[in-house]
Each structure stands twice: as C-alpha cells, then as structure tokens.
Structure 1
C-alpha cells in the first residue's frame, strides 16, 4: 500500500519535474545573437550638422556659427585694444630650468592685467608656447605657477620644465584685481560694461595674452596652444574658438553646456560671477541661446582640440551627455579632413586634473606643437 502511494506521488509530480527541468535548461542556454551592421547613433547633438553633407556646406554654416558665437559674447561691446606696455615686476630663476617673471600689460585703457611668464633656459631658437588658464581660485595664477595650493594644477611649472614658454594670466576678478566685494564678483565689471559679458571679457583678455607671447623673441608665433581646468577649461575652448592663433587646445572638466542642464540659469546668475547677464530673462523662460558648446568647439576645427571630462563630475550626471556631444563634433573634424586633430577622454575621477589626465593633455600639446620630440623619445626608449 505504501509503495503504491509513493508511485502515485511520483507519477503525479512528473509533469512538474519536467517543467522545472525545462526551465533550468532554458536558463543554461546561451542567448542567440545575430551579427549586424553597426546602428547609427542619433542624439540631440545632431543639429550641429543637420542637413550638412559636404565640407563646403559645413564651411558656409561655420560662418553663421561664428557670428552667433560673437553675438553670445557681445564681442561688439569690447573696448579698443590698447598698446601692451609690457612691464616686468619680478624675475626668478627656478631650479636651473627656467626663468619665471611676474609681468603686467594693458587690457583696457585704464586697466592692467598681471600674469606669470616662464621662459626655459638654454633656448637656441623660438619655442612653442602655451596659455595656461587657471580655475576659480582667488590666487589662480599663483597656483598655475606652482607657488600656492595644488601641485596638480601647477601647469606653468610643469610645462616650462618640458621646454615650453608659458603664460599664466590672472582671471580679471582674481589675483591683483580682486574686486572690493571679493574674488570672482562681477558686479563692478557689469557697471563698467553693462552690455558686455564676463565671458567676452575674459576671452578678450586671454587673446591679449597671446599678443604678449607673440611679442617675445623666444616664441614661435605659429606654435601656440592653450589649456586649462574648470573655469580655465571652458575658457580654453572659448579662446580657441575666438582666436585662430591658438593651434592646439585642451579643456579639462569644462562646465556643463546649455542644453540638458537643469541648472542652466547659473550661466546667468543674478549675483557673484555672472557669465552672460543678458541671457537671464530667456533662460528663466526656458529658452536657450542659439548656439551651444558643440557648435562653439566645432569652430576650432581644423586646429587641434582635446576634451577631458569626468562622467561623474557633478550631480545630476549631466556630463554623460558630453560623450554624445563629442561623437558629433568628431564628424566636423572628419568633414574638415583632420580627424587626428580631435580627441576626447572620459573618466570617473570627478572634477579633477589627476595624473593620467595631465599626462594626456601634455602629450597632446607635444604631439601637435613639438611632434619631433615625441619621435625622439620613442627612439631613445
């Protein structure tokens, strides 16, 4: 009787056991994946080349974008450029490697900027030169020179030791020009220039720093680059898009763009550092300007540009959009026939310029400003 009961139970459970076995078999089976051509990657950044198929069409559109960029800066409001009147206030030899000078020069008829200038010792011919732009730090040019704070951001010192002439200009509301209300306070600037923009101001001044470099016999006018982190990062592509004398540029952790940015109104704050004061009414109404970062950076082509950014730089993760943006910018460099002149690197180091990023940026400068040393180093190794 007991044996019969067991048999009945086993018999009645058979369908269930079969089902369980089938499920396990399904779980163990590998999914079937079919080969295919790569699908097109579409994003909101596609408007950069909307309707543009040929280099000629792109170059025509590029002129329109440049005009939009100058209008964004309010470039027509900049003052007449004064004579430089370059003055040297301090000269120091650093470790037998280079001479560091504290200099000043005119940027407006009634306003002078200061900068640190590094000139390597033993130059036998005009050298490549770099404009090194600091971030939002009260004594930013001192940090860029390696005199205070973070050695990761001592670009002038690093690059001068590598053989570059380097200028590290002060941002116009920092260093020796900190306003009465504090560093990076732009209220006094906007009272003096109510129709100009802070971005137009610092871009114009950084362009004058290029004038300083070109006034020096130690500098090769055709080999000038620019780089920077954070405020200096987006300052770099603003400058390179503005001034074609910049032959190679690298932005590290530049700010978030206008689109896909839930805090876009910070580009036009109502206090402290106000980038684009005139944009505030439209931004508060949800309307963005007619040009964005991908279009500004595209103006740099065919000159070389490298974008370095942290995927986890800020919250929400707006910078993840930067990958899609850069994929589209690459198409511009391809249209101009110089894909080798564009690159981007993304990492998980947040808002930093850690060793790997610096090494890549400096190598990018070498590759485009002093390619001969990259080959020499390979041979020596």
Structure 2
C-alpha cells in the first residue's frame, strides 16, 4: 500500500510538471492573455538608443545583466571557491566500446567545509582529435542516465531522496539521455546531478555550494541573494573549468543544454559565461525562456510561492504584478548574443507556455541583427516538427514536458550547423 501511494504521489507530481493539472489562478486560455508591451532591449535606462554591437556590449548589455542579477536570479559571487578533481574511474571501452567514460569527483571547499559532486563524462572513441561537448545537469543522478553498472551514485541524492526512491534504480531516466546517438554524431557529454550543487529543496540551502561563500548566512537572505538557479548556473561553469583539462574536448565547441528548471539555469549560465557557444533551453517556461507578461501557464506568483528557493527574494515583488515588470525574459535571452541560442517547446506542455517561449526567442532579433546574425523570421510560431535553424533556433514537438530523442536530434542538428560551418 505504501508503494501504491508513493507511485500515486509521483504521478501527481508528473502531471503538475507537465502543466496538465487544473490549478487555481493558472491561465491556459490564449484569449485571456493580457495586453502587454515588451521593453525594447536596445533602449538604455537613460533612454538612449543602442545602434551598434559595441554600444550593446559596453552600455546596454551590462544594464540588462544587472537587472536580472538584482531582480530575478541574484548576484553571482565573485569570490573563488577552491575545487580539486579526483579521477574515480576511467573506462576506455564504455558503451560497448563506443566511448571513453570518466567519472571525476569535484571537491569544493572553503577550508572549513567541503561539498562533493561527481561529473560523468563520455567521449566518443571513433572520432580522431578534439570533439564538441554537451554540458547539462541530470535530475536523478548519473546512475539513472545509463544502465552501465560502474556508474557511481551522485552524492547529493542522499539529501533529497529516501531509500525507496526510484533514483536508486539504474537507468531510471535513460530515456532522456540518448548517449548512443549523441556519441555516434561525434559529441561528448558531460553531465552531473543538479542535487550535487544545490539539493533542490528550500530547507537544504545549507548543503548547497552557496553555503561555502564568505557572505553566506544560514537562514538569512538579501533581496538580491542568489539562489538555486544562480548556483546551478555557477556549477555549469565549473564543469567547463574542468573540461579545459581534457585534451580531447574542443573548448571552442561547448553547448549547454538544460531541461525545465535546468533550462532556466542553462540560459542564465549562458548569459554569464561566453565559453558556452550554443545555449539550449528545453521546456524552461516561467523564469526561463517564456515571457512573464503573458501570464500564461506557470506564472511568477506560483513559482515564487511554491519554489521560492529558485529565485532571489526580489523577484516575488512581481507576483501577480507582471504588468509592472520593467523587463522580460527576451532581454535575458538576448544576453547570449552573439553566441547561438536554441529554444525548444512541447505541444502538450502548456505549463511552460510554448508560445511565450517562442516569442521570447523571436524578440531577441534586434540584438542579433547588431551582429548581422539571423534570428526568427516571424512572430507566428512554426508548426509542430518544423524546426527553425538560424543563428537563433526553435522547435516545438508533439508530446509533453520531457527530453526526447527528437529534441536531442534537433539540438545536434543546430550544433552541427554552427560548429561545422
């Protein structure tokens, strides 16, 4: 009986995540989307109009970055945290000989406290020389991304999951990581469980990387204090730091892919770290790719109430107050220019507002045009399974809130286009 209720609970959580639940205050009716005006990303705080890429980089881009640091994700600390790397295992014939698999223990410390994370890295064997790489977090531990018995359990899981949790089952989320297809296309994959960096519960902040920084005070937050999304974004950059040590990795061809809450973090990481040459958001929704002013699907009031530990406290001032937002997510996406941006949606994922995700990517056009790059052509979203592959790309597929082989194939098509011109 206990297992039955546990399965029922997981089912309800799944329905919630897929946007299928009927929740008070959530709009799924396009006719009820309010009239709104988006801020022009090229108009400065003092009213000046940006007309060149140089002006964007020196004047307007820092202004927008400051907006999102102070009002949405919090300020990323500039202090350095010591990290050491230990090679736990190396299998040169992993995945039936297709790949070299490395498992690397990251030990983050401030001298008094240490937090550990494990990176799982697959490098294709059939490619000579350096290879491009996808960086991305997994949700249930490295051991759930594959059936290979040698993969270590991610250390952060113990804070979040009990002994009966499906996370302890190998391959439980193998469907989201088509390693065989990725490797055959010549890409490496570097993944880590996001719980290793910030265990995804509000009460577990003391066990996150944030707790290692000098100004950290348990139970106390400033209005612009960084929270989970900011910490996860920081952690993605630390993965890139390690990859610089790997001679097989082409550091000029790094893509970051994030799904759902990790799509939000991937966008924020890409906005801050120019080493990510392709930034991919999959079903990232509110606080990610979707426009907040549409108030469609998950909204600011819902996300800052139920998942307050994802954003800095200042973001909650716009709960139910989206019309007064002086910014929107298209401006955050524009921070990725002139690097390449890809946004992916799912037809059945109304919770994440597919149309709002598309429009957000579309309204980056003015910034990409400064670099003579091509964004999305029309404010009308494409049909299902009709991907757009410009400097800014987009697709919407059939199905629900998930990462599928179809998504990965399009991500690789987009990277092929820009990594191998």
The Cα offsets for residues 221-254 of structure 1, whole Å up to 9 and x where unpaired, read as 2121111222232222111111000111221111
Q: Cα distance 1:163–1:324, how it changes in 2: closer, same or farther (>3 A)?
A: closer
Unpaired runs of 5+ residues, structure 2, are 1-34, 148-169, 375-389
**SS of structure 2 residue aligned to 1:189:** helix
Is the 2:333–2:361 Cα contact (8 Å) retained in structure 1?
A: no
Q: 1:294 maps to which residue?
A: 330
Does residue 1:259 correspond to 2:309, yes or no? Answer: no
Is the 2:277–2:340 Cα contact (8 Å) retained in structure 1?
A: yes
CA shift for structure 1 position 153: 0.9
Q: Cα distance 1:149–1:196, how it changes in 2: closer, same or farther (>3 A)?
A: same
Q: Choose between structure 1 and 2: higher helix proportion.
A: 1
Q: 1:154 maps to which residue?
A: 177
CA distance in 2, matches of 1:103, 1:337: 40
CA distance in 2, matches of 1:53, 1:280: 27
Does residue 1:343 correspond to 2:403, yes or no? Answer: no
Q: 2:120 maps to which residue?
A: 116
Q: Cα distance 1:75–1:205, how it changes in 2: closer, same or farther (>3 A)?
A: same
Q: 1:54 maps to which residue?
A: 51
Q: 2:339 maps to which residue?
A: 303
Q: Cα distance 1:165–1:330, how it changes in 2: closer, same or farther (>3 A)?
A: same
Q: Cα distance 1:75–1:356, how it changes in 2: closer, same or farther (>3 A)?
A: same
Q: 1:314 maps to which residue?
A: 350
CA shift for structure 1 position 278: 1.1
CA shift for structure 1 position 155: 4.7
Q: 1:20 maps to which residue?
A: none
CA distance in 2, matches of 1:302, 1:43: 27
Does residue 1:235 correspond to 2:228, yes or no? Answer: no
Unpaired runs of 5+ residues, structure 1, are 1-41, 372-381
Q: Cα distance 1:342–1:299, how it changes in 2: closer, same or farther (>3 A)?
A: same
Task: Give the one of 152, 163, 168 matched to 2:186.
Answer: 163
Q: 2:135 maps to which residue?
A: 131
CA distance in 1, matches of 2:357, 2:177: 26
355-364 or 48-57: which moved more? 48-57
Is the 1:52–1:58 Cα contact (8 Å) retained in structure 2?
A: no
Q: 2:407 maps to which residue?
A: 357
Does residue 1:276 correspond to 2:276, yes or no? Answer: no
The Cα offsets for residues 63-103 of structure 1, whole Å up to 9 and x where unpaired, read as 21122233343335465231x32112233322111022221
Is the 1:190–1:196 Cα contact (8 Å) retained in structure 2?
A: no
CA distance in 1, matches of 2:399, 2:189: 27
CA distance in 2, matches of 1:163, 1:90: 22
Larger RCO: 1 or 2 (CA < 8 Å, sep 6+): 2
**SS of structure 2 residue aligned to 1:368:** helix
CA distance in 1, matches of 2:246, 2:304: 37
CA distance in 2, matches of 1:143, 1:291: 38
Q: 1:87 maps to which residue?
A: 86
CA distance in 2, matches of 1:293, 1:190: 29
CA distance in 1, matches of 2:50, 2:64: 17
CA distance in 1, matches of 2:183, 2:360: 33
Specify the structure having the higher radius of gyration (Cα). Answer: 1
Q: 1:8 maps to which residue?
A: none
The Cα offsets for residues 28-65 of structure 1, whole Å up to 9 and x where unpaired, read as xxxxxxxxxxxxxx963353345746225544312211
CA distance in 2, matches of 1:322, 1:167: 26
The Cα offsets for residues 290-325 of structure 1, whole Å up to 9 and x where unpaired, read as 54321111011111111111244135x733223332
- TM-score of the pair, normalised by structure 1: 0.73
**SS of structure 2 residue aligned to 1:106:** strand
CA distance in 1, matches of 2:356, 2:315: 23
CA distance in 1, matches of 2:353, 2:186: 37
Is the 1:224–1:369 Cα contact (8 Å) retained in structure 2?
A: no
**SS of structure 2 residue aligned to 1:47:** coil
CA distance in 2, matches of 1:334, 1:65: 18
CA distance in 2, matches of 1:123, 1:255: 36
CA distance in 2, matches of 1:155, 1:81: 33
Does residue 1:68 correspond to 2:98, yes or no? Answer: no
CA shift for structure 1 position 354: 3.3
CA distance in 2, matches of 1:240, 1:120: 25
CA distance in 2, matches of 1:359, 1:123: 19
CA distance in 2, matches of 1:219, 1:133: 18
**SS of structure 1 residue aligned to 2:360:** helix
